[in-house]
Amino acid sequence: MESETKSPKATQEKTEPKMDSKSQNYKLHAKNIDVFYDDFKAINNISLGILEKSITAFIGPSGCGKSTFLRLFNRMNDYIDGFSMNGNILLDDKNIYDPDLKVEELRKTVGMVFQKPNPFPKSIYENVAYGLRIQGIKDEDFIEERVITSLKQATLFSEIEDNLDKSALSLSGGQQQRLCIARALAVKPSVLLMDEPTSALDPISSGKIEDLVHELKKDYTIVIVTHNMQQAGRVSDNTAFLYMGSLIEYGDTQKIFTNPEKDRTQNYITGRFG
């Protein structure tokens, strides 16, 4: 209903009642999430909703659980030994932890970009085509078209146009990361999770990624984890501040950065700890 996140006011109102979590208009909706690694409680009762076609940033000091929380949205934590959780997460109002849900299908809808660029040791073309091939798509024209669109979307195409058959490992770090974004886009997800996507990159490459993220917002719901405060401030519409597994504050980015409600948020943002 209200996907127009343009006005900060709207999002602010939207995100204010996050703890009682009653709105149905969220693209992603986490409800009363606890996460345990064996006996260690990594996430402590977090609820929050994420609006469609917005950019939401998770910030907080290392080990606060922001990456763990992010990885809940495409169930990447499932592989970790000793992982268990309570609560549920809705994607378009459907519980993604439903035992009948196919996790492979979920991940086609919820794409992910990782901290370090992780291209496959294959050609640039095959990297982007991979997600389609594993879906059993054989139509080579279709694949090629999709590869090129995705590379264009990821603003990489012009740089590597003539070298699609070259190994992805020959690209620079920044190019590799944009390739990974293109690879994620090729399967047409509606959500893109980004786990500190620029932490391994130089400032110029980071800038390109940030521009790209901004561009992608038109079509995708983006959740980005970052330890870089300025980055969160620059790119996101909403920001969630996590500390020691708890959600301390969540709301409009501008408000969080200029006038946070909690002292702890204030201290973190101004660099007094972290």
Partner 1 sequence: MNSTDTSRTKDKAFRILGISTTVGCVLILAVFIGFIIYQGMERLSWEFLVSLPSRFAEQSGIYTAWIGTLWVLVLTTLISFPLGVGAGIYLEEYGKKNKLAKFLEINIANLAGVPSVIYGLLGLEAFVRIMKMGNSILAGSLTLALLILPIIIVSTREAISAVPSSIRDASNALGASKWQTIWHQILPASFGGILTGVILALSRAVGETAPLIVVGALAYVPFAPQGPMDEFTVLPIQIFNWVSRPQHEFVINAAAAIIVLLFITFLMNGIAVYLRNRWQNKMNW
Contacts of 195 (CB under 8 A, 6+ apart): 67, 70, 71, 112, 113, 114, 115, 225
What is the phi/psi pair of residue 142, to 5°?
-60, -45
User: Does the protein bind partner 1 through residue 199 (CB under 8 A)?
Assistant: no
| Radius of gyration of the chain measured on its C-alpha atoms | 18
How many beta carbons lie within 10 A of that of residue 185, not counting itself?
A: 24
User: Does the protein bind partner 1 through residue 120 (CB under 8 A)?
Assistant: yes
CB 257 within 8 A of CB 20: no
User: Does the protein bind partner 1 through residue 184 (CB under 8 A)?
Assistant: yes
Q: Which is nearer to partner 1, 58 or 114 (CB)?
A: 114
Which stretch in 107-115, 201-209, 235-243, 252-260 sits in contact with partner 1 by CB under 8 A?
107-115
* Chosen residue from 60, 65, 111, 245 binding partner 1 by CB under 8 A: 111
User: Does the protein bind partner 1 through residue 169 (CB under 8 A)?
Assistant: yes
User: Does the protein bind partner 1 through residue 37 (CB under 8 A)?
Assistant: no
User: Does the protein bind partner 1 through residue 83 (CB under 8 A)?
Assistant: no
User: Does the protein bind partner 1 through residue 134 (CB under 8 A)?
Assistant: yes
C-alpha span between 70 and 62 (Å, rounded): 14
Burial 52-66 (b: 16+ CB within 10 A, else e): bbbbbbbbbeeebbb
Least CB distance from residue 156 to partner 1, whole Å? Answer: 16
User: Does the protein bind partner 1 through residue 81 (CB under 8 A)?
Assistant: yes
User: Does the protein bind partner 1 through residue 18 (CB under 8 A)?
Assistant: no
Q: Which two tokens stand for residue 266?
A: 């204030």
Residues that bind partner 1 (CB under 8 A): 74, 76, 79, 81, 104-108, 111-112, 114, 116, 118-121, 130-131, 133-135, 169, 180, 183-184, 187
